[in-house]
Structure 1
Amino acid sequence: MFAPKNVCPVPFDQQPLNEYLALKKSCFFAWSILSLNKYINTVLSIFVLLLTVIMPIVWILSYNKMTLWYVLSYSILSVDLIFVLLFTRLYLGWSYIVKRLLSATVFYEESGWYDGQIWIKTADILTKDRLIGLYQINPYITRIKYSLFFCIFFFLLEGIILYLI
């Protein structure tokens, strides 16, 4: 799956295709490329899990001065903030990999930060990387981007509602 050393001087771990495969296998990024139904179920289960963890914390921090509605509202606002941070990290990770896959050149480090090199991809490797980037990763990035916008919208809406009340 990786390019031979005589074709590609980039170290194994820094080759864009291998970075993609490693990100795809990682626990944090793997759930974001599930099928749409599993993705929605995972997001909802993470939401419920975070809500059950954060709600008692908000209740304790409020010193029992808030009503249950306020505790629930602040808990949902906190969970939305966590989701904004989570989706931002997912977006940045996947967009970095896509940028390296779609690029015609690859910057890599041989032994440290002081001796970086640039490798120009061959036509075959460039075609394969671009196909993977455009047709496998870009739909997931679009899904993550819409999820991020959705969470930001609801975070701002909840913040405005809590401010007005």
Structure 2
Amino acid sequence: MFAPKNVCPVPFDQQPLNEYLALKKSWFFAWSVLSLSKYINTVLSIFILSVIFIIPVIWFYNKISFLYVLFYSILCADVIFILVFSRLYLGWSYIVKRLLSATVFYEESGWYDGQIWIKTADILIKDRLIGLYEINPYIKRIKYSLFLCISLFLLGILILYLI
């Protein structure tokens, strides 16, 4: 799937399409490209498991009522998810920016000899189609998930303040 060297001087692992494929296969980013039902099930199961694992830690350090322990563990798990979704968003947005751009910055052998390559029309069209129709739905899904986590966090803070 990579462009030949006579068409594209960018090294194989720095070509935007290959970066996309590598990101899609990585263990951290792979679950964000699942189907919607699998994605929701995965997120909810990881959230519930993290809350269950955080409850004994908070209970050990603070001998307070179980309701407070539950709220604090939900808030801690929510902070973890905010960080995870932020990292997912940053990774995917970097790749989509490189796919949609008409130029590609790359390094031939090190940080000191960076070059800029202008994509050919065929490669640009292919990269933009992949960026717009494959990656943008994942980015929207991650944005909505991040917004939901931030809203849940703020709601949890409000509930703890009112209790």
Within the candidate set 84, 103, 120, 1:122 is matched to: 120
Query: Deviation per CA, 1:9-38, whole angstroms, max 9, x where unpaired?
Result: 000000000000000000000000100000
Consecutive unaligned residues of structure 2, counting only runs of 5 or more, are: none
Q: Which amino acid aligns with 2:120?
A: T
Deviation at 1:160, TM superposition (A): 1.7
Q: CA RMSD in A?
A: 0.6
State the alpha-carbon separation in 2 of the partners of residues 112 and 163 from structure 1. 52
**Runs of 4 or more consecutive aligned structure 1 residues displaced over 2 Å after TM superposition:** none
State the alpha-carbon separation in 2 of the partners of residues 116 and 31 from structure 1. 33
Q: Which amino acid aligns with 2:155?
A: L
Deviation at 1:163, TM superposition (A): 2.0
Q: Which amino acid aligns with 1:144?
A: I
1:159 matched residue in structure 2? 157
The within-5 A match list for 1:36-115 is 36-62=36-62, 64=63, 66-115=64-113
Q: Partner of 1:113: helix, strand, or coil?
A: coil
| Number of equivalences | 163
State the alpha-carbon separation in 2 of the partners of residues 60 and 118 from structure 1. 55
Deviation at 1:52, TM superposition (A): 1.5
% identity of equivalent residues: 79
Q: Under a length normalisation based on structure 2, what TM-score does the superposition of the two structures give? A: 0.98
The within-5 A match list for 1:141-152 is 141-152=139-150
Query: Deviation per CA, 1:76-125, whole angstroms, max 9, x where unpaired?
Result: 00011111001000000000000000000000011111110000000000
2:134 matched residue in structure 1? 136
State the alpha-carbon separation in 1 of the partners of residues 152 and 52 from structure 2. 19
State the alpha-carbon separation in 2 of the partners of residues 44 and 161 from structure 1. 21
Q: Which amino acid aligns with 1:153?
A: S
State the alpha-carbon separation in 2 of the partners of residues 13 and 54 from structure 1. 39
Deviation at 1:164, TM superposition (A): 2.7
